[in-house]
Amino acid sequence: MRPSDGTLRVAVPKGAIFEDALRSLAAAGLPVEVLRENDRRLLYRAEGVEFIVGRPSDVPVYVEYGAADIGIVGKDVLEEQQPNVVELMDLRTGWCQMILAAPSQMAEDVRGAIRHAEVVRVATKYPRIARGYFEGRGRQAEIIALHGSIELAPLVGLADCIVDLTATGTTLRENDLVILDEISTSTARLIANRGSYRLRHAEVAALAEGMQRDGAPIG
């Protein structure tokens, strides 16, 4: 149940962009140090703010349905889920790329298959993005949705190639995969629930302004 005392609720993603998210929120004056007190807790309260800590893919869900007023999430998650939220700001942190990749020894075969409009099998955690990429080029692909280590799929013959997110390319190189194409780039974004943005506009706008130094407004 939502608190009824006007508490601002903020959804924060675990994982790669967690520390960047805390720095951005701290720049706006939020008491983020409480999130470092116990890494097993999922809900924290301090100085009139509640923090929800969850998986990056869950942050837009909490925000869209009003369990959180604002949240921080990667652009890749927004493009995949297309939630009904207000995208307020590019925080310019957590940079990474969405790429198409294949094993080095299969790279030319996969390029040729795509060039000649043959159907290729693509493993990915991002089926919407992968499907849109191939459809946008007038090509067909069999999309295989996975949730674990995507790099394994072409190595064991499950797929011809992968669509995945990479920041440094280290995991690709360690598994002898090469990038065939760069699909898009992703950075962390500040998002808001549409109702909260309307009813608590001054509060949300002030928070965004506090993050303004390093971020860039959307639109």
Give the whole-number percent of the chain exceeding pLDDT 90.
85
pLDDT tens by residue, 16-55? 899 999 999 999 999 999 988 767 788 999 888 999 999 9
What are the percentages of helix, strand and coil residues in the chain, rounded to 5? 35, 30, 35
Q: What is the pLDDT of residue 216?
A: 59
Q: What is the pLDDT of residue 202?
A: 93
Instruction: Please state, in angstroms and rounded to a whole number, the distance separating the CA atoms of residues 138 and 161.
Output: 17
Q: Is the pLDDT of residue 4 over 60?
A: no
Domain that holds residue 180: 96-185
Pick the residue with more confidence: 155 or 218? 155
CATH number of the domain within which 149 lies? 3.40.190.10
Determine whether 168 is exposed, middle or buried from the number of CB atoms within 10 Å of its CB (0-12, 13-18, 19+): exposed
Could you tell me if 57 and 77 are in contact, meaning their C-beta atoms sit under 8 angstroms apart?
yes
Could you tell me if 78 and 201 are in contact, meaning their C-beta atoms sit under 8 angstroms apart?
no
Q: Which residue has the tokens 């997110």?
A: 165
Q: Are residues 110 and 125 in the same domain?
A: yes
Q: What is the pLDDT of residue 212?
A: 73
Residue 75 located in a structural domain:
yes
Q: Are residues 132 and 154 in the same domain?
A: yes
Q: Is the pLDDT of residue 214 over 60?
A: no
Q: What is the pLDDT of residue 41?
A: 80
pLDDT tens by residue, 136-194? 999 999 999 999 899 999 999 999 999 999 999 999 999 999 999 999 999 999 999 99
Under the phi-then-psi rule, with left for phi > 0, alpha for psi from -120 to 50, and beta for the rest, what region is 15?
left
Residue 40: strand pairing partners:
none
Q: Are residues 14 and 122 in the same domain?
A: no
Q: Is the pLDDT of residue 80 over 80?
A: yes
* Tokens describing residue 141: 């692909």
Give the whole-number percent of the chain exceeding pLDDT 70.
94
Q: What is the pLDDT of residue 75?
A: 97
Task: Say how many domains are in the chain.
Answer: 2
CA atoms within 13 A on the CB side of 183: 27
